């Protein structure tokens, strides 16, 4: 372990008597000083717990085998363990007491947002009942016996379909060979997700639940390597189509990867790779999927020669996969701490290429791009994005890295090791004041791992002052209103070789814009036509909104438009396009049936006859 950013290391095995083989290391999300180590279950079943950053450990032997641990997001002492014999175990309050509560169930999921449940210690889980069906169950972590569990959804659900994410819970139920999807918003009763009626989904993935809206990727019955992108209303029930035929692929563990990337630091900006006529092209949106456009290629190449690339026949295309290795930068990256700055691997041409690639950078949120390398590089953000560190992505050993202080316009070459190193990855914290980077790898295929600490503090000549900053106006091809706001960011001037440090705070000036047509998307059941108007789709009848409405009640009658979720525009077209609260319309009765109590339509004179009147509606 190292407690000084990799300057010195100490070996723990001899110090704390670790003579067993360790399989996993966990760090508590609520207390970074707390570390838990699991032993290899094939050797012995034990857990080692440290409360002082790994300086000392207390060892506890267990009578079961832990497969994985799950820390509670709020309560430091609460831990769930998933054992190899498929039991849910909860460690409650006092770790040292070694008190484990064993509960039979399937995989557990902590809720993401505490406070929405009546109790803050709820566990969400799938569990198989005696009849062999899988159900969604909840319980309090300290009271999770059979009699104490709740069943928020009465029917059985598909195995491994439970998703608890922010304020939403999703489940899947397959009936008659067709998958149906249900959602609960803010722990309210479940409602069936409504896709356009022509949609026949065979697979769905929840991409994002940020800012009270759901992005979902749906694979239709006739799709194989693409998904359609849908976006929901606030409750996550009614979905409208945002983009068709988004490229998909499989990860190293067989997981589905959708080529959709959310730009960090600025809400509403997404990049997607779409398949058109067997070509993959990169599109960008600045309003959460309402409008998409191709990326404009750079004006010049690395040597300053003009680039001939005319939209829509030629554009910039980017690889949008996040790295499955947390110690490499991936093919695209952006940071909350550096809004507007994007770095991505890609190419210029008619479609996305996997051979002729380079590295491109945007300093204005994707409006314009510059090429910074002609080969594939890993690029990391240093000191809040004020400096960029690049290392060649290659299978051969290297010993140089490049550093830029002007957003990739110029680079300085540095040697970080005297002997070439096969680089496996690096650790970088973009906000720490000491500007430390740890590179790890090996000198040969048979050598042990090497850790190289790179301290950049000496190349930051001073702390930044007010003359080192400039303002940057967010825009979409010159349009200053993005998601209903005008935003002005403070950023370090390119070339200013000064450090921001830990106490740096970004100053953002924002003011709302007047609502225009671009701030509204078509509501569920409506489609945008060439005149930019939202009209009812062929499968949708606007009067259906009042179908389940009773006389005396009211309902929201859609105008065909809904304001984009998290859009902050005011006035303008807002009143015109807002749904109107209306009284439920009266309807003619139907389905009249007349019966008698004895089931006969004849009766003897002098006898009473009781009639039963039934009306369907």
pLDDT recorded at residue 96: 47
Q: Which residues of 189-201 are buried (b: 16+ CB within 10 A; e: fewer)?
A: ebeebbbbeeeeb
Q: Which residues of 291-327 are buried (b: 16+ CB within 10 A; e: fewer)?
A: ebebbbbbeeeeeeeeeebeeeebbbbbbbbeeeeee
Which single residue is written with the structure tokens 């959708």? Answer: 258
Cα distance between residue 143 and residue 92, in whole Å? 11
Out of 3.30.60.270, 3.40.640.10, 3.30.565.10, 2.40.50.100, the CATH code matching 517-591 is 3.30.60.270
Which single residue is written with the structure tokens 């704390």? Answer: 16
Average pLDDT over residues 331-335: 91
Cα distance between residue 241 and residue 228, in whole Å? 7
Top mean-pLDDT range of 89-93, 278-282, 428-432, 555-559: 278-282
Per-residue pLDDT at 405 exceeds 50? yes
On average, the pLDDT of the chain sits at 85
- By the 10 Å C-beta count (0-12 exposed, 13-18 middle, 19+ buried), 602 is classed as exposed
The domain limits of the chain are 193-247, 259-375, 466-512, 517-591
DSSP for 411-442?
-EEEE--SS-BEEEEEEE-TT-TT-EEEEEEE
Rounded CA Rg of the chain? 29
pLDDT recorded at residue 568: 94
pLDDT band (50, 70, 90) for residue 60: confident
pLDDT band (50, 70, 90) for residue 115: very low
Cα distance between residue 220 and residue 72, in whole Å? 37
pLDDT recorded at residue 139: 79
Kind and range of the H or E run holding 16: helix 12-16
Helix (H, G, I), strand (E, B) or coil at 227: strand
**Token code pair at residue 174:** 């397959």
DSSP for 46-80?
EEEEESSTTSS-EEEE-SS-EEEEEE-SS-TT-EE
DSSP for 127-148?
EE-TTS-EEEEEEETTB-SGGG
Cα distance between residue 13 and residue 19, in whole Å? 7
pLDDT digits (tens, 9 = 90+) for 346-380: 999 999 999 889 999 999 999 999 999 999 999 98
DSSP for 339-374?
TT-EEEEEEEESS--SSS-EEEEESSTTSS-EEEES
pLDDT band (50, 70, 90) for residue 114: very low
Q: Using DSSP, how many helices (H) and how many strands (E) does the chain show?
A: 2, 49
Pairing of strands 508-512, 485-492: antiparallel
Pairing of strands 422-428, 412-415: unpaired
Partners of 174 in the β-ladder? 179
Which single residue is written with the structure tokens 């896709």? Answer: 195
**Count of beta carbons in the 10 Å neighbourhood of residue 400:** 13
pLDDT digits (tens, 9 = 90+) for 64-88: 777 777 777 666 667 777 676 655 5
For the entire predicted model, the pTM comes to: 0.84
């Amino acid at each position: 372990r190292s407690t000084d950013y990799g300057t010195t290391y100490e070996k723990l095995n001899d110090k704390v008597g670790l003579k067993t083989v360790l399989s996993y290391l966990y760090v508590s999300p609520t207390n970074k000083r707390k570390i838990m180590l699991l032993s290899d279950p094939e050797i012995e079943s034990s857990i080692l717990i440290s409360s002082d950053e790994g300086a000392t450990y207390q060892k506890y032997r267990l009578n079961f085998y832990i497969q994985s641990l799950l820390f509670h997001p709020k309560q430091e002492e609460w831990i769930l363990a998933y054992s190899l014999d498929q039991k849910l175990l909860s460690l409650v309050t006092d770790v040292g007491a070694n008190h484990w509560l064993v509960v039979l169930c399937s995989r557990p999921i902590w809720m993401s947002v505490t406070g929405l449940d009546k109790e803050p210690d709820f566990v969400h889980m799938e569990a198989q009942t005696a009849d062999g069906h899988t159900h969604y169950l909840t319980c309090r972590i300290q009271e999770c016996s059979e009699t104490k569990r709740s069943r928020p959804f009465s029917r059985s659900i598909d195995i491994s379909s439970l998703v608890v994410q922010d304020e939403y819970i999703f489940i899947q139920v397959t009936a008659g060979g067709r998958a149906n999807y249900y959602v609960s918003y803010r722990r309210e009763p479940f409602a069936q997700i409504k896709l356009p009626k022509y949609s026949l989904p065979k697979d769905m993935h929840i991409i994002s639940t940020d800012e009270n809206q759901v992005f979902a990727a749906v694979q239709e019955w006739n799709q194989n390597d693409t998904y359609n992108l849908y976006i929901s209303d606030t409750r996550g029930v009614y979905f409208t189509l945002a983009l068709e035929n988004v490229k998909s692929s499989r990860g190293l563990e067989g997981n589905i990867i959708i080529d959709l990337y959310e730009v960090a630091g600025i809400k509403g900006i997404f990049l997607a790779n779409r398949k058109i006529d067997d070509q993959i092209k990169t599109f960008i949106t600045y309003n959460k999927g309402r409008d998409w456009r191709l990326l404009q290629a750079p004006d010049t190449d690395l040597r300053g020669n003009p680039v001939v690339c005319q939209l829509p026949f030629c554009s910039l295309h980017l690889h949008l996969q996040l790295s499955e290795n947390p110690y490499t930068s991936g093919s695209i990256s952006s940071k909350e701490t550096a809004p507007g700055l994007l770095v991505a691997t890609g190419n210029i041409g008619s479609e996305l290429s996997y051979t002729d690639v380079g590295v491109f950078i945007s300093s204005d949120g994707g409006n314009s791009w510059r090429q910074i390398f002609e080969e594939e590089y890993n690029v990391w953000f240093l000191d809040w994005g004020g400096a960029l560190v690049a290392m060649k992505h290659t299978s051969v050993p290297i010993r140089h890295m490049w550093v830029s202080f002007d957003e990739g316009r110029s680079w300085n070459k540095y040697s970080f090791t005297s002997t070439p190193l096969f680089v496996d990855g690096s650790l970088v914290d973009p906000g720490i004041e000491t500007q430390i980077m740890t590179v790890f790898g090996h000198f040969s295929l048979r050598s042990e791992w090497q850790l190289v600490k790179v301290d950049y503090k000496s190349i930051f000549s001073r702390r930044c002052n007010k003359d080192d900053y400039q303002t940057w106006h967010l825009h979409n091809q010159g349009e200053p209103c993005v998601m209903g706001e005008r935003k002005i960011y403070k950023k370090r001037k390119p070339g200013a070789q000064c450090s921001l440090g830990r106490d740096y705070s970004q100053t953002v000036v924002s003011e709302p814009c007047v609502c225009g047509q671009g701030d509204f998307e078509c509501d569920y059941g409506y489609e945008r036509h060439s005149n930019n108007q939202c009209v009812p789709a062929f499968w949708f009848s606007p009067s259906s909104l009042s179908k389940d409405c009773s006389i005396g009640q009211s309902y929201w009658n859609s105008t065909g438009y809904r304001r984009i979720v998290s859009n902050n525009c005011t006035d303008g077209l807002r009143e015109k396009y807002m749904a109107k609260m209306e009284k439920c319309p009266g309807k003619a009765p139907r389905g009249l049936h007349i019966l008698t109590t004895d089931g006969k339509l004849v009766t003897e004179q002098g006898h009473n006859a009781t009639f039963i009147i039934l009306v369907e509606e």
